[in-house]
Amino acid sequence: MTTPSVILFHGTDEFAIAKHIADLQAGLGDVSMVDMNVARFDGRSLNFDDLNTAVNSIPFLAERRLVVLAHPSAAFQSAEARKKFIALLGSISPTTTLALAEHEALKDDHWLLKWARSGKGGVRILVCMSPRRWEMADWIVQESQKQGGRIERGAAERLAEMVGEDTRVAAQEITKLLTYVNFERPVKVQDVEQVSVVSAQESIFDLVDALGNSDGKKAQRVLHRLLESEDPFQVWGMVIRQFRLLLLAREVIEARGDMRAVQKALELRDFVAQKVYKQAQRFSMSALEEIYHRLLEIDEGVKTSQVTLELALDTLVVELVVF
């Protein structure tokens, strides 16, 4: 299949979008030349002239080059800027592929989606939506097969319970589990429980308990123990998920729901529902909303390289202890 000049990715599954872009990069040919033929930009801090130069440059000892622009909508907010960008899209070098990556689902009337559907250029649109909670087990089974292994249904459900809807963390855990069984047999529930994800989840509960009790020393100790054994991005994903669960659980509690109501609403197993329910009672709704907003601010800062993830986690613990 001929690679189009422009590919518009949009949706909430950042991991899937990243995989598609990695495949495009891998298709450029000689690995030693790839870095010379890939340019990446962020629409939130874009210099238009640099982008123009990148999409019209000649590939270096290769047939094509790849230009990736994340968050393009952020760069072109006025009608004049959009007109200028659309003109650029129509004049891209035939040896360049421009990948536009929006990490949210665009509405049908979005200007960029309307242009892509106009048929005025070689454009492909790919929608990448994160699986919903009840779809994650199926996603894990399929991803295990893609990685060359197998996982039992019960193990997939257990893993889904631990990672929530974070496909990036799930993929990392699948790789870890398949390596653990040496790709020789299906991953079982016992394997999931023996590998780090469960102990990491327990540590997340411990971390939130310490924060709820304003025990800064314990919170720092648990956090540093986690960072010694787990990937920081996995820890970060689990922290965000935990506070999201607490926020949802608090909504149920505010509506006079009990632990069983929380379990049903959030689709959790008994032991997880019990801990989430207990922890949610320690925070007010306003406190959880403010904390979750702060998590999103930090996430944005990490993604734009304004702060390292390890420092962001340390800062967050300090902030929440004095919250």
Domain(s) of CATH 3.40.50.300: residues in the chain: 6-127
User: What is the pLDDT confidence band of residue 196, given thresholds at 50, 70 and 90?
Assistant: low
Residue 78's pLDDT is 93
Fold of 133-194: Helicase, Ruva Protein; domain 3 (1.10.8)
What average pLDDT does the segment 189-199 reach? 74
Mean pLDDT, the chain, integer: 86
Query: What is the tens place of the pLDDT at every residue in 161-191?
Result: 777 778 888 898 899 899 999 999 999 998 9
- DSSP helix/strand/coil, 126: strand
User: What is the pLDDT confidence band of residue 322, given thresholds at 50, 70 and 90?
Assistant: low
CATH superfamily ID and name for 6-127:
P-loop containing nucleotide triphosphate hydrolases (3.40.50.300)
pLDDT at 246 over 70: yes
Q: Which of 99-103, 117-121, 129-133, 307-311 holds the top average pLDDT?
A: 99-103
Query: What is the tens place of the pLDDT at every residue in 227-243?
Result: 877 778 778 887 888 88
pLDDT at 70 over 90: yes
Q: What angle do CA 229, 232, 236 make, to 5 degrees?
A: 120
Percent of the chain residues topping a pLDDT of 90: 39
Q: What's the CA gap between 252 and 258, in Å, rounded?
A: 8
pLDDT at 214 over 80: no
What average pLDDT does the segment 247-255 reach? 93
Contact predicate 70/42, CB 8 Å: yes
Percent of the chain residues topping a pLDDT of 70: 95
Q: What's the CA gap between 70 and 51, in Å, rounded?
A: 12
pLDDT at 53 over 90: yes
Tokens of 91: 């004049």
pLDDT at 73 over 80: yes
Residue 200's pLDDT is 67
pLDDT at 198 over 80: no
Query: What is the tens place of the pLDDT at every residue in 116-156?
Result: 988 765 789 999 998 987 899 999 999 999 999 999 999 99
Q: What's the CA gap between 258 and 273, in Å, rounded?
A: 10
User: What is the pLDDT confidence band of residue 85, given thresholds at 50, 70 and 90?
Assistant: very high
Contact predicate 177/151, CB 8 Å: yes
Torsion of CA 30, 33, 36, 41, to 10 degrees: 40
Residue 38's pLDDT is 92
Residue whose pair of structure tokens reads 């649109």 in the numeric block: 125
* CATH, domain 200-321, list 3.40.50.300, 1.20.272.10, 3.30.70.260, 3.30.1360.120: 1.20.272.10
Residue 138's pLDDT is 95
CA atoms within 13 A on the CB side of 84: 14
Q: How far is CA 206 from CA 105, 200, 222, 297, in A?
A: 35, 10, 7, 23
Residue 3's pLDDT is 64
Contact predicate 280/246, CB 8 Å: yes
Q: Are strands 6-10 and 96-102 parallel, antiparallel or unpaired?
A: parallel
Query: What pTM did the predictor assign?
Result: 0.63
Give bridge partners of residue 7 from the DSSP assignment: 99, 124
What single-letter amino acid sits at 258?
D
Q: What's the CA gap between 181 and 187, in Å, rounded?
A: 7
Higher pLDDT pick, 2 / 171: 171
pLDDT at 98 over 90: yes
Residue 309's pLDDT is 81
pLDDT at 6 over 70: yes
Which string of DSSP letters, residue by residue, matches 42-106? EGGG--HHHHHHHHTSPPSSSS-EEEEEESHHHH--SHHHHHHHHHHHTT--TTEEEEEEESSPP
Q: What's the CA gap between 277 and 269, in Å, rounded?
A: 12
Range of lowest pLDDT (83-87, 107-111, 187-191, 207-211): 207-211
Domain(s) of CATH 1.20.272.10: residues in the chain: 200-321
User: Which helix (DSSP H) or strand (DSSP E) does residue 240 occupy?
Assistant: helix 232-254
Give bridge partners of residue 40 from the DSSP assignment: 68
Domain(s) of CATH 1.10.8.60: residues in the chain: 133-194
